[in-house]
Structure 1
Amino acid sequence: MKIAEQLKKNNIAEYLIYMWQVEDLLRANDCDIDKISENIISRFQVSDEERKELTDWYDNLATMMREEGVREKGHLQINRNVILNLTELHAALLASPKFPFYSSAYFKALPFIVELRNKNGKKEEPELETCFEALYGMLLLRLQKKEISPETTKAMEAISSFLSMLANYYDKDKKGELKLED
């Protein structure tokens, strides 16, 4: 919970990846608070008060997953909203002549995004969601200690660089420091 709060405040891209991991952890535990308590919460060395906060947080997320019909796949609305907010900012940054380096990073990543969308058959999916799915997939491959091809590494570097720049602009925008227009 505190990790999520920190990431949301400091790096929205890392926050979203983290929250997708949490969704998968909840799925692995059948969105059952007893299993979540036993397999996840019990591993934290925290006070009783913090344990209750963690339990409430995980329980609320599991309840939301059941209610929103994303118990087996998909993402919570709170996480989809992050993608929507980032997509709005992405469009504004591309439309502004003040951010040529951002546009350059996007157009460098675009061929990889198109290729990924063609491979996964989700051509209607938002581009940013494709990017985050690719990064999340890469994370899972690394956790499983699977080999990653040089082509995939090159694609992920371009996508990661692009998303990192977007996350930085998102942070500036939230702080009121981003001026899209003159």
Structure 2
Amino acid sequence: MIIARELRKTNIAEYILYMWQVEDLLRACSFDPEKIEQQLVKRYNADEVAGKEIADWYRNLSVMMEKEHVQEKGHLQVIVNLINDLNEFHLKMLAVQIDPEYVMLHQRNQEAITEVMQKTSNDVDNEVGACLNALYGFMMLKLKSSEISTQTQQTIEKLAHQIGHLSARYIQFENDDFEF
């Protein structure tokens, strides 16, 4: 909760990836309040008040995931909506071309983005979602200490750079520090 709150203000892409990880952690705990308390809440070493707030946050997310039928797979609608908003922002950045660096990054990555979208055709319906999916998949492979090809690492670095740039602009836009 503490991390999510800060990421939402500073890096929208990292916030989305973090929330996906939280969803997976809740699934790994089988949405069991005791497991969530032991494996997630206690690692914060928070005082009683903060600990209760953190536990409530996880509990509320668990309830939302149940109500939205995403206990086994999928993502909370609030996160899906955020990805769609970020994709709309991405499309506007490309259409308006106010940020030549972003347009160049996208052109450089277009082939990789298309490839990622083809590989995840049923799961993702927009470019930003595809990039985030690739970044999350890479993060999971690294956590499992899986072997990752040099080409995959290079592709992920390029996608991460583009998504990082987009995310920074999005936060600037939300804070009225960037406009079209």
- Root-mean-square deviation (CA), in Å? 1.3
Aligned to 1:87: 87
Please tell me whether residue 15 in structure 1 is matched to residue 11 in structure 2: no
The alignment partner of 1:42 has SS state of helix
Query: Which contiguous aligned blocks of 4+ residues in structure 1 show a shift greater than 4 angstroms?
Result: none
Aligned to 2:98: 98
Q: Which runs of 5+ in 1 are unaligned?
A: none
**Offset at 1:135?**
0.4
> Which residues of 2 match residues 18-37 of structure 1 at below 5 A?
18-37=18-37
TM-score w.r.t. the length of structure 2 is: 0.95
Q: Which runs of 5+ in 2 are unaligned?
A: none
**Offset at 1:114?**
1.0
Aligned residue-pair number = 180
* Change beyond 3 A, Cα 1:123–1:40: closer
8 Å contact from structure 1 (residues 32, 62) kept in 2 = no
8 Å contact from structure 1 (residues 26, 36) kept in 2 = yes
8 Å contact from structure 2 (residues 17, 132) kept in 1 = yes
Identity of aligned residues (%): 38
Moved more, 44-53 or 111-120: 111-120
Distance 1:123 1:58 in 2: 25
* Change beyond 3 A, Cα 1:96–1:45: same
Distance 1:100 1:152 in 2: 26
**Offset at 1:32?**
2.1
TM-score w.r.t. the length of structure 1 is: 0.94
Distance 1:164 1:121 in 2: 23
Aligned to 2:158: 158
**Offset at 1:123?**
7.9
